[in-house]
Amino acid sequence: MALARQRPGLRLLVAGPGDRAELFDGIPADLHDRVEFLGLVSEADKARMLRSVDIYVAPNTGGESFGMILTEAMAAGAAIVASDLDAFRRQQKGDGPKLTVTPVPRSVTSTVISCKPSQFGFGIARATRF
C-alpha cells in the first residue's frame, strides 16, 4: 500500500488463481479503484496484459522450473521485479541489463520504487536471447 501512496498513477493488475474478495479485503477501500483482479487469463489476454505494464512483479514462492513468465514479460518490454528463486536467477545470466531479483515480500516495494524509467522496455532485447 505504501507504493500506491507514493505513486498516484500506479495501477495494479492481479492475474492468476485466487479469491477476489480476499484480495480486496487486504486493500484499503480508497485504493480499490486502482486494482484490477483479472483471475485466470487466456494466453492472448496474458500477452495483452504484459504489453500494458511498465513493471512485472513476480512474487512467486516456488514451483518455477524455468521462469517462462519472466521471458514473456521481458518480450513485452516490462522491467522485472522477481522473487529470489533459482529459475528466476538463471534469467539474469549473460550480457545486457539484469533483472531485478529481490526477496519477497519485504523489499518488493523498495525495489519497484527504485526502478528507473530507463529500465522499462529493456526486456525485448533480453528475451531475444531465448
Same domain, residue pair 25 and 70: no
pTM comes to 0.78
Give a yes or no: residue 65 inside a domain. Answer: yes
Q: How many CB atoms lie within 10 A of CB 120?
A: 14
Q: Look at phi and psi of residue 52 and say left if phi exceeds 0, alpha if psi is from -120 to 50, else beta.
A: alpha
81 three-state secondary structure: strand
CATH number where 92 lies:
3.40.50.2000
Give a yes or no: residue 110 inside a domain. Answer: yes
Rounded CA-CA distance 92/108 in Å is 18
Q: State pLDDT tens for residues 16-49.
A: 999 999 999 989 999 999 999 999 999 999 999 9
Q: State pLDDT tens for residues 92-121.
A: 666 555 666 666 665 667 777 676 665 555
1 contacts: CB under 8 Å, gap ≥ 6: 27, 28, 31
- More confident site: 95 or 70: 70
Same domain, residue pair 6 and 70: no
Number of structural domains (the chain) is 2
Residue 117 belongs to domain spanning: 53-130
